[in-house]
Each structure stands twice: as structure tokens, then as C-alpha cells.
Chain A
Amino acid sequence: KQEVTQIPAALSVPEGENLVLNCSFTDSAIYNLQWFRQDPGKGLTSLLLIQSSQREQTSGRLNASLDKSSGRSTLYIAASQPGDSATYLCAVSRHTGTASKLTFGTGTRLQVTL
């Protein structure tokens, strides 16, 4: 059974700092990995999707890497802003016929302070 773990569980940084969020998974036979952002009481916003054949994806100040063989992914946020405060979830998918099921990590609650 796939298990996804995120470290740290919570993180507080001052504005402007660069930071790294970690995600690890136990079964390397994944189809892809996604990073999401969730604001309190809200749904999920997809940030980055990395296919299993890729090693990284970038979008603006965000960069996600994937090392499938070691079961790890990192989300790098450059020049953090208070608006980045949210819970960040990683999720890995397994292919099941015509659809891909996601297994979510435990999340990292990020607080960026002024």
C-alpha cells in the first residue's frame, strides 16, 4: 500500500526566504506526482504535475523535482511571500486502467510572516 509522507508538518519563515518542502513515497511505481495548495476551508489548487519520466517542473517561483527511484520529491519556493501561506499537499498517482488514483501526503502547513 502506497504511503506518502511530508516533512515538515509545519513551517514558519520570514518573507523573502527561499524554502524547500519534502515529500516521500514508499512505492516507486507511480504514474505521476502532483503538488497542490489548499487554503483553509477551500478546495485544492494544482501547482505542478511531474510525469514519472520527468525530473522536474517549474512554474514561476515554484520548482518541483522528482527522484522516483528513491521515492522523493521536493517543492522549492523562491522569495516567499505572505500570500504563499497555505497547506501544501503532494500526491502520487497509480494508473488503474483508464484513470489515475491519487494518494495524498499528510501536508505541510506554511506560514510566511512579514
Chain B
Amino acid sequence: GAVVSQHPSWVICKSGTSVKIECRSLDFQATTMFWYRQFPKQSLMLMATSNEGSKATYEQGVEKDKFLINHASLTLSTLTVTSAHPEDSSFYICSAIEKRRYNEQFFGPGTRLTVL
């Protein structure tokens, strides 16, 4: 139980385009999801907290107009990287909190974004 999926697993796009990444909780409902970014050989950095039915909360230094987050249902959160640039190339990982186990996060497999 507590499986989280991400789609796509990898994406390559041209500079200036927008890319949408989906995060789904497959067998549980998640009122809260988190989005992380990981650069090569570095640890995960929290970007934002996604709450179902309300606006996301962004960490300091993360541009909310560049990284649009939508949590429209209890099983789906999306991250849209708008007007992507090469410096946005990274590994993006989401996690979800299961309501009955709110102190534990379950992680998706990650999405590798490469911006040319």
C-alpha cells in the first residue's frame, strides 16, 4: 500500500516551453503532497507543499509563477514548469502523506527534466 506514481519518468523539452509533471497517489487519498528538486549529487530540496483544494505553499527562493502547482483532487497534484530554461533541468520528486499515517511521506519515482 501507499504507492505514489509520477508521469512522465523523463522529459526533454526546448527552452521556453512549459512542462507538466503529474504526481498520483494510487491506493490512498493524499490531502498533502510535496514537491522536491534534486540536482546531480545533491540532496533533495523542498520546493513547495501542495494542499488539496487550496493554494500551494512555496519555500523561500522558489518562484511560484515559474513552478505552478495544482492539487485538484485527493489523488493528483501537478507541477508545471513554465518557460523552462536549461537551469531548470533537474530531477523532480513528489511525495504524498497518507491521511491515516500523516507523519510518513511516500515518494514517487521521480521525473528527470532536461531543458535544451
List the interface of chain A (C-beta within 8 A of B).
31-32, 34, 36, 41-46, 49, 51, 89, 91, 93, 96, 98-107
Contact = CB atoms under 8 A, between A and B. Distances in A.
Q: Is the interface of B mostly helix, strand, loop or mixed?
A: strand
Contacts of B31: 98
A93 B103 contact: yes
A102 B110 contact: no
8 contacts: A34-B104, A42-B109, A43-B110, A46-B106, A98-B32, A102-B34, A103-B46, A107-B43
Given A42-B110, A43-B93, A104 B104 contact: no
B89 interface: no
Contact of A105 (B43, B95, B103, B112): B43
Taking residues whose C-beta sits less than 8 angstroms from the other chain, chain B's interface range is: 20 to 34
B105 interface: yes
Interface of B: 6, 31-32, 34, 42-46, 49, 91, 93, 95, 97, 102-110, 112
Contacts of A91: 44
A89 B44 contact: yes
A107 B107 CA distance: 17
Contact of A99 (B91, B102, B107): B102
A101 B34 contact: yes
Contacts of B110: 41-43
